[in-house]
Amino acid sequence: MDYHLCPSILSADFNRLGQQIQTLEEEGVKWLHIDVMDGDFVPSISFGMPVIRSIRKESKMFFDVHLMVSAPERYIQDFVDCGADSITVHAEACEDLERAIELIRDAGVKVGVSIKPATPVNDISHLLDDVDMVLVMTVQPGFGGQKYLNECTEKIEELRELIDREHADVDIQVDGGINDETMETVMKAGANLLVAGSYVFNGDLASNVKHITKRMQHIKEEIE
């Protein structure tokens, strides 16, 4: 199983965004998590296609685009056109989730489905053959810097057990409240893709990435 740190640019310094993305690449980070929020599905508004198109020109990282928007089907092709390598939609935001998944697949990028903390794994368990990743939100979506919700650990474990039982080729991503302590919790529960914002960007970026990747490697060795 491949493990990746997925820094969320929601916590980046947008005055130095290009420079910070370059630092991430220099430190060996492969994934970039891009939260798109519309002020409707979640209260906050973040950024959209122009930002992604701009940074795509300068980066070879895997652009992991997380659409926290209502009716995301409307925008899938637009986000692919501006540089997304994967698109994650919320199960709760789609009128026809199966159709949204089909549209993402047809657009030629990886497919992700996200569930909020209150949404049971059972709501998306029938879709494991159709997706590449399930994102378990471990905070309420829409705001950075929240505390990890401990009740989500059981959901990660349930999802990992289901994926392993069905021999599905599906990654588990977690987003929310990741730090030194919760990183170990979610990885041992079964997550392999860790979204982190303030944990990565607050303070010295390069030093933070070195510390986090070293710790992830240590936990991975313990698991294996």
Q: Is 35 annotated as a binding residue?
A: yes
* 143 annotated among ligand-binding-site residues: yes
Print the SS3 string covering the chain: CCCEEEEEHHHCCHHHHHHHHHHHHHCCCCEEEEEEEECCCCCCECCCHHHHHHHHCCCCCEEEEEEECCCHHHHHHHHHHCCCCEEEEEHHHCCCHHHHHHHHHHCCCEEEEEECCCCCHHHCHHHCCCCCEEEEECCCCCCCCCCCCCCHHHHHHHHHHHHHHCCCCCEEEEECCCCHHHHHHHHHHCCCEEEECHHHHCCCHHHHHHHHHHHHHHHHHHHC
Examine the residue annotation and report whether 171 is marked as an active-site residue of this protein. Answer: no
Q: Is 142 annotated as a binding residue?
A: yes
Quick check: is 35 catalytic?
yes
Known binding residue 90? Answer is: no
Please check if 197 is assigned to a binding site. Answer: yes
28 has binding-site annotation: no
The answer to the question of whether 144 is labelled as a binding residue is yes
The single residue of 2, 13, 35, 130 carrying the catalytic annotation is: 35
8 is in an annotated binding site: yes
- In the set 85, 175, 180, 204, the catalytic residue is 175
Q: Which positions make up the binding site?
A: 8, 33, 35, 66, 142-145, 175-177, 197-198
Q: Which residues are annotated as a binding site for substrate?
A: 8, 66, 142-145, 175-177, 197-198
> Which residues are known binding-site members for a divalent metal cation?
33, 35, 66, 175
Query: Looking at the annotation, which residues are catalytic?
Result: 35, 175
